[in-house]
Amino acid sequence: MKIDGHDLSIGQTVAAASREGSVFSVSKDALNAMNASRDLKLEILKTGKPIYGVTTGFGDSVNRQISPEKTARLQNELIRYHLNGTGPLASDEVVRATLLIRANCLARGNSGVSTPVVERLLDFLEHDILPAIPERGSVGASGDLVPLCYLASALTGEGRVRYRGEVRQAADVLSQLGLEPVLLEAKDGLALINGTSFSAAFAVLNTEAAAQLAEVADICTALASEGMLGNRGHYAPFIHDHKPHRGQRASAALIHDLLQGSALAMTYDQVVDLNGPLEGRHYQKLTRSIQDRYSLRCAPHVTGVLRDMLEWVRTWMTVEINSSSDNPLFEPSTGNVYSGGNFYGGHVVTAMDSLKTAVAGIADLLDRQLALLVDEKFNNGLTPNLIARVEDDDTEAGLQHGFKGMQIACSALTAEALKNAGPASTFSRSTEAHNQDKVSMAPIAARDARTIIELTREVAAIHLLAACQAVELRGVEEMSPRTRAVHARIRKEVPFAAKDRQMDGDIAAVVEMISSGALTEAAAGSGL
């Protein structure tokens, strides 16, 4: 597959991030564009005119010019003084996505870099040589300087990499594979680090993970509706066609389809018919409520927001990973060099701050549904905390507490997700001698979004376990065919909780089913 700086998709990036040995090369047109901008850079160098970050210092040190003879060394020094990241190392998936996105941005042909820089990035991706990149230390303008310096350092052979399960010196791995370290020339180091590629890697992966959660949330709502003897008329197309947000309509349609054939979650008319006529009386208490609580009735209006948001987040991130997020940029057709701010992660941080809020809203929705399911005051005749049914005179009576602890854990997870949902973009801080006096905080927002997604997966897993317990107490044979398939998939690995037991392993098992797509496959009828 070829990259050209223009046509890399989110799907291609996610696929490359998730597997070892993805092979990409640079298109002929991109190579020509790269060479043209490099030639222009070299021509301007000969004139002795200052070029930011090439023959000048960086940031606030822009007013200090050096001779062309020092330019290569300047690039290496740039990388070394930013090697001060902290925190855990970025995952393999994030690093692979970062390698590909940075290569694609430089392949656009405006950065003046030498071709071996991009070729070696793609070699790292193909051989799964993954620079060891600490997650913390970037404010998202001028780009992801600190984390991308660890990538650049590995390319030069000075850094550390993960290779075949071991952390090793990059130089040793390159030597083993017969690859040469990159010898940086003027601008190469700055081009490698002065962009949003690390933040964008998190953001792209978050986008697809959040899309998966939207599907899972609708599955959860369908199961909860059955467990609560809900009214599936709330998801009828007529309602949502008259508030036609695309995401809301999509969520309502999925829940409606999932519940087709259910004898537990009935249609509006079926629920109404459960209640007898007044027959001259002035009052009666209905056998079953004709309207569910908000966390069930308004679920499409919550999950639909996430679905709609993902449309523009995907658009923004597709632009971001196909941009020259670098400074300065060269225009060979005019002979001009431009200094600007394309390294700024404003679109990334806004996308991720928004995504955080929408995903945290999903966690809150599912937590509210769970609270109804376990509470005997609200769960329409289910047992307290979903314990197995037991007669009052049974010796086990009063000993079991079922999902009480699970609901407490779910509440804690939800609170943590909501706590992290505040906007990172509002915490801009002036840095680097007030040159970087307005920064994006994109990587922090992207990492927070990743955390909220992980927490929401765990909330969904607890919810699904409780919902499966609930429908089993009602009668699995009464479920719809598609929700019964989801129940069966979970029961392949997690049994009914007949008595109190340790359940952290159950949660982990369902989280893996969510992450792998096994649950959405089961709901679609293809996962059994």
At which residue do the structure tokens 């070394």 appear?
A: 80
> How many Å apart are CA 252 and CA 297, to the nearest integer?
10
Alpha carbon 429 to chain centroid, angstroms: 25
H/E run at residue 169: strand 166-169
Ordered alpha helix ranges (H), 156-196? 170-177, 188-193
Q: What is the pLDDT of residues 498-519, one digit of tens each?
A: 999 999 999 999 999 999 999 9
Contact 509, 288 (CB under 8 A): no
Q: What is the mean pLDDT of residues 31-53?
A: 95
Q: Please give the angle made by the CA atoms of 436, 437 and 438, to the nearest 5 degrees.
A: 95
Q: What is the pLDDT of residues 228-238, one digit of tens each?
A: 999 999 999 99
- pLDDT, residue 467, reads 98
Q: What is the pLDDT of residues 193-246, one digit of tens each?
A: 999 999 999 999 999 999 999 999 999 999 999 999 999 999 999 999 999 999
> How many Å apart are CA 138 and CA 236, to the nearest integer?
47
Assign 3-class secondary structure to 203-263.
HHHHHHHHHHHHHHHHHHHHHHHHHCCCEHHHHCHHHHHCCCCHHHHHHHHHHHHHCCCCC
Q: What is the mean pLDDT of residues 103-114?
A: 97
Residue 392 binned pLDDT confidence (cut-offs 50, 70, 90):
confident
Which regions of 274-372 does DSSP assign to beta strands (E)?
Answer: 329-331, 336-338
Q: What does pLDDT average to over the chain?
A: 95
Q: What is the pLDDT of residues 357-390, one digit of tens each?
A: 999 999 999 999 999 999 999 999 999 999 998 8
Residue type, 61: S
At which residue do the structure tokens 């902290």 appear?
A: 86
- pLDDT, residue 114, reads 96
With left for phi above 0 and alpha for psi between -120 and 50, is residue 100 left, alpha or beta?
alpha
Task: Catalytic residue, from 52, 150, 163, 235: name it.
Answer: 52
- pLDDT, residue 528, reads 41
At which residue do the structure tokens 């607890």 appear?
A: 462
Instruction: Say yes or no to pLDDT of 279 above 90.
Output: no
Instruction: Say yes or no to pLDDT of 164 above 90.
Output: yes
> How many Å apart are CA 39 and CA 45, to the nearest integer?
10
- pLDDT, residue 142, reads 84
- pLDDT, residue 318, reads 98
* Antiparallel, parallel or unpaired: β 160-163 and 130-131: antiparallel
Determine if the pTM surpasses 0.85.
yes
Residue 338 annotated as catalytic: no
> How many Å apart are CA 158 and CA 135, to the nearest integer?
19
Does residue 88 sit in helix, strand or coil? strand
Residue from 510, 522, 527 nearest 457 by CA? 510
Angle between helices 145-155 and 92-107 (to 10 degrees): 80
Residue type, 368: R
Cα end-to-end distance, the chain, whole Å: 34
- pLDDT, residue 527, reads 44
Residue 396 binned pLDDT confidence (cut-offs 50, 70, 90):
confident
419 contacts: CB under 8 Å, gap ≥ 6 = none
Q: What is the pLDDT of residues 122-158, one digit of tens each?
A: 999 999 999 999 999 999 988 899 999 999 999 999 9
Instruction: Say yes or no to pLDDT of 526 above 70.
Output: no
> How many Å apart are CA 195 and CA 386, to the nearest integer?
51
Q: What is the mean pLDDT of residues 339-345?
A: 94
Q: What is the mean pLDDT of residues 454-471?
A: 98
